[in-house]
Chains A and B, each alone.
Chain A
Amino acid sequence: VSVEAAGQPARVGVADLVAHRDDLRDVRAEQLDRGAGVAGLVLQHRVDRLRPAVLRAFVHDVVAARVRDLRGQALARHPVAERVDVDVAAREHVLVEQLEQPLALEARRERRRAPGASAEKARGRGVARGRDGPFVPARASAAVQLRRMSQPDLAPPTVEDRLARFRAMMAKLDATGDPARALERELYVTFPGAVGAKIAGRLELRPASTHLVVGGVGSGKTTELLQVRARLSSVPDTKAIYIDVTRQHDIARMGPGVVALQAALAIASFVTESIESRGEPSALVEIAATALRRLAHGYHYDPERDYYDTDVAYREGALKPPDQMTGVSAEALGELRPLLESPGAAGARLVVLLDGLDRLSDVEVFQQIVDDDVNGLASLGIGVVLIGPLKCLYRSERVMVESFDYWHHQPWRDPEVGNAERFLTDVVRRRLTADELDDASLLPLVRQSGGVLRDLIALAQLACEEAYVDGADRVGRPHVEAAADAFGRKHVIGLQADEIEILQRVRSTGSFVQTSETDLALLMTRRVLEYASGAGAASRYAVHPTIEPLLRQMAGEAT
């Protein structure tokens, strides 16, 4: 092996690098870039702006990333890891230097590691550091890592780049992302008797049935709706169409007809595509689809020209049949009829899955939508699954559920009940392994979520963040506790005195009666959690676990 002239790459083996260190050193001396590092200046800038623990984690990540870049530069030119190209024009001198004495370096680390720490930890994954614990190097040095990468007979390197590792963890904890993506990534965990499975089963038997789904914010209603779609997609003669009704229309201006129109537009797209795929264009379908698009989005016309002017006047009749629809609902459903009778829809059992109406605050408007749009769609043989406001379950509004063939409550999962606890831990474990979140932290995390799925994922995400800035390699109990504390502090913001009084009562007695708007607001915002206890049994109420310590503090009790 020989090193070529400066500026020319030379291919050498790892052992050769050590053997020829002097030659390489000479080359390095000529090529060494001694300019100040940008990364270093950024680090220096932060020395008085970050807490020591955060600074420590940050410095380690910056250096780790730099080593990764250098290693990447070297290995990119070499297909197999046991050899390294040395490009003297690049900055790989650092690697060469560190390759010179890996065994000595590792031996030195072994001597310095904390008493009681296992050799495996010291060499590979690093020794866990408590916030205030003794300082111990967190991971094997770059040199040791590189040597491992360079020699296939040694164990593969551990993940050195914490930032990349934590980013990968965070990507699995997207509490507010598109639920469809979570399903695609197989992060969905089936709960026995899940609402989605129940609805899909009913629709398989009665495709034209109507279903109302209600549940708290973040309980997984949309995910269940998407599960219905996924399951029905495997039923040959059934087509389930998901529609977020807030996408195309401001829910503050929601009224009868808007939902039917959106459903009709979606069905028109399906029928048109179906006809086109068969190569059987239909003028009737195109006319109906155009009429629906005009109804939805408006159109230009000549106001001076009246196509319907026949010089014959019409006087409206005095009798108004109770089931007669008027306005947009009637028009939309009228245009839908020829579409359903066309070859494009022949033999298809259509189901529309309507999401977003849980954000509707006016229950009277919701009732109108049910009366006109939902019943209208059902009268055409279309199955409807609708997510509605939680209010429908309480007080006089409860009568609304009777308008549907079936109604379903998507409840919180009581983390103190066996199968729910297993379900919730499975949800976490599907996203984070025991190497990422230790076993001892799993149950506390689940308990702190109160069984609210979105909160569970959000807490896990926040705990990961705490671990990251703490310089830890995995999430532990202190990180879960810090996450729960931060969550609780946010969750009490905005509470009024009367609400705090109710929360204190729920906390101390478990007693809660939904009578006022304030009571309902506490349920809606997940400060009070209602756990269904099974058929006929009374519900259990509790305050969200993250705010319980704060309520104790407010009451002057020891936490």
Chain B
Amino acid sequence: VSAGPPPIGAAELAVRIQPLAGSVYVALLAPENAIAGLVAEVVSELRALDEGLPAHQLSPASAASLLHELPSVAGGALVVDAGEFVEADWRVLDRRRSDLGREGVTVFVTTPASFDVLMRVAPNFASWLGGQVFTWDEAAGAASPEQIAERLASLRAWGAPMTDAEVIAQAQAGTLPRDPEYAEWLVLLGRGDLVS
């Protein structure tokens, strides 16, 4: 099948993870050489989104190490560098999935090849992932200039007769209504700094 898991950037993944509650398991597939950086990026995105949401990262050498370290990780989001996990590791997680249980979102960042193995040897663990499997694509989240222009046009129509300059001026003066649309307008104008 040509279609793999849906593409996603680190920022959007963080936004998606934010509302998840309970024990949720997510897989993010990425090239091996990008995994370490991606783990850190997802963690920083999560922390920027919600300072109150603990975000941790682990780079275990094996699944056994992960299970050993897991009890010391508090609740909240956990991003695991599973780029070097092989068949034996996925089998361990499959057998010991009860030990993997934790409160919060756990993101496994691994390679497509490693995930392919997971799907063949770890049916129990795979079922825990549900449909939460994505392929990392750095460009997946970028809005095109055309999309931004289109959205700005919608906002201008909504806010008329207010102009871009008036929105910025009112924001600077602290008199801009606190409607989310105005905040979005400011952000798309490149003045997100005025949203307070």
Contact = CB atoms under 8 A, between A and B. Distances in A.
Interface stretch (A168-176, A262-270, A302-310, A335-343): A168-176
A54 B12 contact: yes
B12 A50 contact: yes
A43 B195 contact: yes
Contact of A51 (B4, B141, B157, B180): B141
A489 B195 contact: no
B112 to A, nearest CB: 8
B101 interface: yes
A246 B98 contact: yes
A64 B182 CA distance: 12
A49 interface: yes
A97 interface: yes
B19 A49 contact: no
B131 A490 contact: yes
B6 interface: yes
Interface string A172-214: 0111111000000000000000000000000000000000000
Interface string A57-79: 11111111011001000000000
Nearest to B96: A246
Contact of A40 (B11, B130, B155, B195): B195
A47 B188 contact: yes
A397 interface: no
A33 B115 CA distance: 50
A486 B5 contact: yes
B15 A50 contact: yes
A244 B99 CA distance: 11
B130 to A, nearest CB: 3
A186 B151 CA distance: 44
Given A135-B158, A465-B20, A526-B127, A49 B194 contact: no
Nearest to B118: A494
Interface string A245-260: 0110011100000000
A407 interface: no
Interface residues on A, range: 35 or more
Interface in B150-194: 150-151, 154-155, 157-158, 172, 174-175, 177-181, 183-184, 186-188, 190-194
B17 to A, nearest CB: 9
B127 A218 contact: yes
Given A36-B193, A44-B190, A494-B117, A49 B9 contact: yes
A207 B182 CA distance: 68
Contact of B4 (A143, A493, A495): A493
B11 A143 contact: no
B74 interface: no
Interface stretch (A233-241, A413-421, A451-459): A451-459
Contacts of B180: 59-64, 138
B116 to A, nearest CB: 5
Contacts of A112: 158
A363 interface: no
A434 to B, nearest CB: 20
Given A50-B141, A60-B184, A465 B16 contact: yes
Contacts of A98: 177-178
A118 interface: no
A492 B1 contact: yes
Contact of A50 (B117, B143, B193): B143
A525 interface: yes
Contacts of B178: 63, 66-67, 70, 94, 98, 141-143
B40 interface: no
A12 interface: no
Contacts of A521: 123
A46 B25 contact: no
A98 B182 CA distance: 14
Contact of A469 (B1, B15, B119, B140): B15
B62 interface: no
A459 B131 contact: yes
Contact of A137 (B6, B92, B118, B179): B179
Interface in A463-515: 464-465, 468-469, 483-490, 492-495
A143 B194 contact: no
Nearest to A493: B119
B11 A49 contact: yes
A524 interface: yes
Contact of B96 (A47, A250, A484): A250
Interface string B74-118: 000000000000000001101111110100000000000001111
24 contacts: A36-B194, A40-B187, A40-B195, A43-B183, A48-B142, A49-B10, A52-B148, A59-B183, A63-B179, A135-B154, A142-B177, A167-B19, A169-B19, A170-B22, A174-B22, A176-B101, A177-B101, A356-B98, A464-B19, A468-B16, A469-B15, A489-B3, A490-B119, A493-B4
Given A45-B192, A176-B22, A490-B119, 19 more contacts: A42-B48, A50-B11, A54-B141, A61-B180, A63-B179, A64-B180, A97-B174, A137-B179, A141-B177, A168-B21, A170-B21, A171-B21, A175-B128, A465-B19, A484-B131, A486-B134, A489-B4, A493-B115, A554-B1
